[in-house]
A and B are shown apart, each in its own frame.
Chain A
Amino acid sequence: MSNIKYILGHFDDPDVMMHGIDNLQKNNISIYDVFTPFPIHGIEKKLGIKRSRLPIAAFCFGITGTITAFVMIYYMLVIDWPMNIGGKPAFAFPDFIPVMFELTVLFCAFGMVFTFFYVNHLFPGRAPRVMDLRASDDRFVIAIDAKDNADHSKVDSILKEAGAVEIKHNERKYLSYDEE
């Protein structure tokens, strides 16, 4: 068995690449992932990619912010140091709302950004995972798991037929920056 882990088909046109995806799927060849320099409408549906769970994370961060703000102000203004502000009771809930709102937005925004970076390996200390550098430049790349699809020549011929301009057989999943 060969050491080839992934087969990358390079295309220079998004429509040709979409057609290539159709051809691969028709031949029951599973696609590992597709990398494009810009978003392509409808590609998630075609590849059957599940919706991002980022909104759920955002909701959790947001609600954490709301609770943090409430607890913080309640401790400050009601328990620790009650003050007479405009003759209102110490626990004047409407006054809390702007701060609760602000911390909700703050927690939500930072939480989402950091979650997104972490999941995508863009966090400081994590090595970015890139399968092909030109996918962020001028090439549309279809990655196929070579272990799942044993018939490499068939994959190659389908890609070539669909209009791939370059086909790579990679022995490593992610490229190493030392080699480039």
Chain B
Amino acid sequence: MAHFDLSQKYEFSANAKRWSLIMIVVGVIAVAFGLFTGHAERTFANLLLNSYYLTGVCAAGLFFVAIQSVANAGWATSLIRIPMAFGSVLPYAAVILIVIVVGGLFTHNLYHHWADPELINPASPKYDKLIAGKSGFLNVPFFLIRLVAFLGLWVLFMRALRKYSLNEDQVGGMLNFNKSIKTSAIFLIVFAFSSALFAFDVIMSLEAHWFSTMFAWYNFAAMWVSGLATITLTLIMLREKGYFSWVNDSHLHDLGKFIFAFSIFWTYVWFAQFLLIYYANLPEEVVYFEKRWAPEYWPFFLLNIIVNFVAPILILMTRDAKRNFQIMKYICMVILLGHWLDYYMMIMPGTVGTERGFGIIELGTFIGFIGIFAYLMLNSLSKAPLVPKNHPYLEESLHHDI
């Protein structure tokens, strides 16, 4: 077996830095363009989409680390610093998301289905009985408290897990390993409840009259599969630059199986939500799909299924495809674009409706957030060695063969 340089560190090259900063500038210009050409609502909807996407990918990185340590899984140990770097972008993603949500609330560009005090005032002509009934939960202070509390909790868990991992590099032994298992187990319980409410709050409340209990799982599936695709894509791109030479096709195969399985899981929960509403045909529920079946959104409704279900299931079905770095690279990109469209279909019909578009604002904001993610994630990755050298499962991971 070849000998690997396990003390290798990622060097954040000037070129990568320059490109990610250019992407951020493109994003800022696009947002400014949107705000100053009278598309404030559309710009805010896009900012919400991308910051929610970014938070989801970072949380998925943390979730990946937690799952691996709770399951006592060894195979991913040699690449675990990538999802860990995703996790360390979480505080920034959380701040960006909170700023956008607060901005959207107070400019009335987002959440106007419930955030207007007139809606819950019985004397007002705009009084809405349904929203008034939900106001015990859906009111601005409690909404913001929940948002900050959930994101803050996740950040605390991320800090702890990262601290244990870096400490393990210094001192070795089993202490940090055991502590991370315990912390991860608690995090997974916290995350199971908080991620559900997080999805209800940030996205489902955009259309506050409608509700679906499946929505939390649907969002979790989207978050998790896009996070897995980002982990794989980052890994493949870094490997092309000469890092992570110890990662072989067996590691890729496992990541591919994850992506394949959770693409199907996404479809499963998407369909579970859709079919029950379609079949029962209750007016208060079908209103959600009524909007998405209107000619404005119908093609994208279908495209969403094709890109996020048909493409991964057919392309990733064979073992050879999952072990091929090129195929995996492209299918990850397809899935990442697909889940952008998925979030687009969640957010746009309820906020901007027929004022939606695909243009400078959509493209520029997306590029800007890729830039933010790439800059912060690579910066964090360059701070620590690429391999947790004292991790008890490192040898198992280096010899991974399936």
Complex interface residues of chain B between 270 and 299 (CB less than 8 A to chain A): 271, 274-275, 278-281
Question: Contact: A94 with B401, CB < 8 Å?
Answer: no
Residues on B with C-beta less than 8 A from A42 are 401
Partner among B274, B278, B317, B401 whose Cβ is within 8 Å of the Cβ of A41:
B401
Return chain A residues, CB-CB under 8 Å to B279: 86, 94-95
Contact status B401-A97, CB under 8 Å: no
Residues in B neighbouring A95, C-beta threshold 8 A: 275, 278-279
Residues of A within 8 A of B278 (CB): 94-95
Taking the closest CB of chain B, its distance from the CB of A45, in whole angstroms, is: 9
Complex contact B275–A94 (CB within 8 A): yes
The reply to whether A97 and B281 contact each other, CB–CB distance below 8 Å, is no
> In the complex where A41-B401, A42-B401 touch, is A86 in contact with B281 (Cβ < 8 A)?
yes
Q: Which of B306-324 contact A (CB under 8 A)?
A: 317-319
Interface size on B, residues (CB 8 A): 11
Q: Are B271 and A87 in contact (CB under 8 A)?
A: no
Question: Are A87 and B281 closer than 8 Å at their CB atoms?
Answer: yes
How many chain A residues have a CB neighbour from B under 8 Å? Answer: 12
Q: How far is the CA of A36 from the CA of B230 in the complex (A)?
A: 41
Residues of A within 8 A of B317 (CB): 59
Shortest CB distance B248–A (Å): 14
Whole-angstrom distance between the Cβ of B191 and the nearest chain A Cβ: 29
A55 contact set on B, CB distance < 8 A:
318-319
Report the nearest A residue to B268, measured CB to CB. A101
Could you tell me the distance between the alpha carbons of A98 and B271 in the complex, rounded to whole angstroms? 10
Question: Given known contacts A41-B401, A42-B401, is B275 in contact with A98 (CB within 8 Å)?
Answer: yes
Q: Which residues of A contact B280 (CB under 8 A)?
A: 86
> In the complex the two chains form, what is the Cα distance from A86 to B278 in whole Å?
10
Q: How far does the alpha carbon of A86 sit from the alpha carbon of B274 in the complex, in Å?
A: 16
Contacting B at CB under 8 A, from A124-149, are: none
Write out the residue numbers on chain B whose beta carbons fall within 8 Å of the beta carbon of A86.
279-281
Give Cα A59 to B271, complex, Å: 22
Q: Output the least CB separation between B172 and chain A (Å).
A: 28
Q: How far is the CA of A98 from the CA of B318 in the complex (A)?
A: 24
Interface string of B337-354 (1 = CB under 8 A from A): 000000000000000000
B267 CB, min distance to chain A CBs, angstroms: 10
Who on chain B is nearest to A87 by CB? B281
Please name all residues of chain B whose beta carbon is closer than 8 Å to the beta carbon of A87 when the two chains form the complex: 281
**Nearest Cβ in chain B — how far from A155, in angstroms?**
30
| A98 shortest CB reach to chain B, Å | 7
Query: Smallest CB-CB separation from B271: which chain A residue?
Result: A97
Complex contacts, A41 vs chain B, CB 8 Å = 401
Distance to closest chain B CB from A132 (angstroms) = 29
Instruction: Please give the distance in Å from A42's CB to the nearest CB on chain B.
Output: 7
Residues of A close to B271: CB separation below 8 A: 94, 97
Asked whether B281 lies within 8 Å of A94 as measured between CB atoms, the reply is: no
What mask results when residues 36 to 66 of chain A are scored 1 for a CB within 8 Å of chain B, else 0?
0000011000000001000100010000000
Residues of B within 8 A of A97 (CB): 271, 275
Of chain B, the residue at the smallest CB distance from A56 is B318
Q: Which residues of A contact B318 (CB under 8 A)?
A: 55
Task: Pick 7 A–B contacts, CB within 8 A, sort by A.
Answer: A55-B318, A59-B317, A86-B279, A86-B280, A88-B281, A94-B279, A97-B275
Given A86-B279, A87-B281: 4 more A-B contacts, CB < 8 Å: A86-B280, A88-B281, A94-B274, A98-B275
B interface with A by C-beta (< 8 Å)? 271, 274-275, 278-281, 317-319, 401
7 closest A-B pairs by beta carbon, nearest first, are: A86-B281, A94-B278, A94-B275, A95-B279, A86-B279, A97-B271, A42-B401
